Chain A
Amino acid sequence: MSAKLSNAQIAWRAAQDIADGAYVNLGIGFPEMVAKFQPPGRQAVFHTENGVLNFGEAPAEGEEDWDLINAGKRAITLRPGAAFFHHADSFAMVRGGHLDVAILGAYEVAENGDLANWSTGPKGVPAVGGAMDLVHGAKRVAVITDHVTKDGKPKLVKRCTLPLTGVGCVTRVYTSLAVIDIEEARFVLREKLPEIGVAELQSLTGAPLVVPHRVADLVAPVL
């Protein structure tokens, strides 16, 4: 396998599905990159669990205000129309169905929508943060991820083997090779890189792909 999207390109693709004015939570790390690729003319309102709506980019180095951070404990700035609120209100926004989109990273996604993204096993200190809350309530819960692990194993699987973050919660997966919806507990292929055939994509996926009559080309700009 040679052709694949970079992380930036996966984030770019996920950003194309976010509407102007949408309320969006981006998971810590890789998903935060999605904010950089909003299409021209669209501005989402970003939510962070520790109590800020409508935050912007990181401040210049030396200009951090450490009372103004995001859930990843990084310094942020505010956009016009920002709001502060306490943690219970923040998670009311999450679980209460008020967010349009949550975009999260993944260790494994199963065809039934189960997600494993918080723990790789019993070693070390367990830490869950807001992951188990964030997978519930948003109108769309999307995952962005490499299609396979570093050693080539499928991350899209029949059933998760790692500790679950949530059950039946993921609705769409953006990978380095494809865009896949989860519908009725099946992986439904919506887009794939033109360079890769369906058979090869299936061989890199741990559960059957439903292949509709029309599968669009997944094309991202050079970033």
Chain B
Amino acid sequence: MDKTVPDLATAVLGIETGMTLMVGGFGGSGAPVELIHTLIDRFRATGSPGELTVINNNAGNGRIGLAAMIDEGMVAKMICSFPRSADARAFTERYLAGRIGLELVPQGTLAERIRAGGAGIPAFYTPASYGTDVAKGKPVAEFDGKHYVQERWLKADAALIKAQTADRFGNLTYRRAARNFAPLMAGAAAVTVVQVTRIVEPGEIDPEVVVTPGIFVDRIVVVPQPKQEEELVRDGVAYA
């Protein structure tokens, strides 16, 4: 029942070329930087995993984290709502050169598609995007006199997320606004990998405050002093 793994490299085992990967975070808040960098290390050493489809709200910032993954050529396609950032060079250059795909999804639809993926709901209707270019080709239906667009669930082979505290059973709490997509992604991935600042024994997290119950979590790795993506970008750090 102990879901902790000894190190980052073990945590990302089994993530292979061609997979669909959910990555937590909204901008730098909640970005699992160490897990991402561990995947990059493996790609540099072995050439895998490449050709990834990555689901994140954004598409990287600066030269670290998700942006570094894109720079490295590991990502074939992004599914995101806002592929712009203070320094979106990595995605922008590849996108304009036709070397990376993009599925643009309104942010609330992205969240709900991920939630649906974890909840066993294959499709749902939302008012968002009705009548816009984003809805082109999607089924539309009228309910109580209003129009809605059908959207499908999103699932992934693996999710990489960051939390604040975990117990060994995988119950999670987050830090401030860093939870954003993480609780949704934890449900929607076949394997959910969590980097946490602190690990505690079962019973030490009050069940009343658990945000993500351990049933959604597969592997936990402790990163006691995680890097904050926004700070790395502001310091001009490159993961090279």
Contact = CB atoms under 8 A, between A and B. Distances in A.
B132 A164 contact: yes
Given A84-B176, A86-B181, A67 B81 contact: no
B102 A66 contact: no
Interface in B200-237: 211, 228-231
A86 B128 contact: no
A69 B85 CA distance: 14
Nearest to A168: B131
B133 interface: yes
Find the residue from B26, B127, B177 having the highest chain A CB count within 10 A.
Answer: B177
Interface string A158-169: 000001111100
Nearest to A126: B104
Find the residue from B106, B109, B126, B132 having the highest chain A CB count within 10 A.
Answer: B132
B111 interface: yes
Contacts of B178: 67
Contact of B30 (A67, A114, A136): A67
Contacts of B115: 88
A125 interface: yes
A49 B178 CA distance: 12
Contact of B130 (A69, A129, A166): A166
Interface stretch (A89-97, A143-151, A182-190, A193-201): A89-97
Interface residues of A, number: 38
Interface in B99-136: 102, 104-112, 114-115, 126-134
Find the residue from A86, A126, A166 having the highest chain B CB count within 10 A.
Answer: A86
Contacts of B109: 132-133
Contacts of B147: 167
B76 interface: no
B183 A67 contact: no
Interface stretch (B2-10, B62-70, B88-96): B88-96
A209 interface: no
A90 B134 contact: no
B84 A125 contact: yes
Interface residues of B, number: 55
B126 A87 contact: no
B29 interface: yes
B195 to A, nearest CB: 14
A205 B180 CA distance: 41
Contacts of A132: 106, 108-109, 128-129, 132, 134
Interface string B136-164: 00000000000100000000000000000
Interface string B154-188: 00000000000000000000111111111110000
The 6 closest A-B pairs by CB, nearest first: A91-B108, A133-B108, A167-B131, A87-B111, A66-B230, A130-B107
16 contacts: A50-B26, A66-B231, A69-B177, A86-B183, A95-B126, A125-B84, A125-B91, A127-B83, A128-B81, A130-B81, A130-B107, A132-B109, A132-B134, A133-B108, A136-B128, A166-B132
Given A86-B183, A87-B110, 18 more contacts: A51-B26, A67-B228, A84-B174, A86-B180, A86-B182, A87-B108, A88-B184, A91-B111, A91-B112, A95-B127, A114-B131, A127-B104, A128-B107, A133-B109, A136-B127, A163-B133, A164-B133, A165-B132
Interface of A: 48-52, 65-69, 73, 84-88, 90-91, 94-95, 114, 124-133, 136-137, 163-167
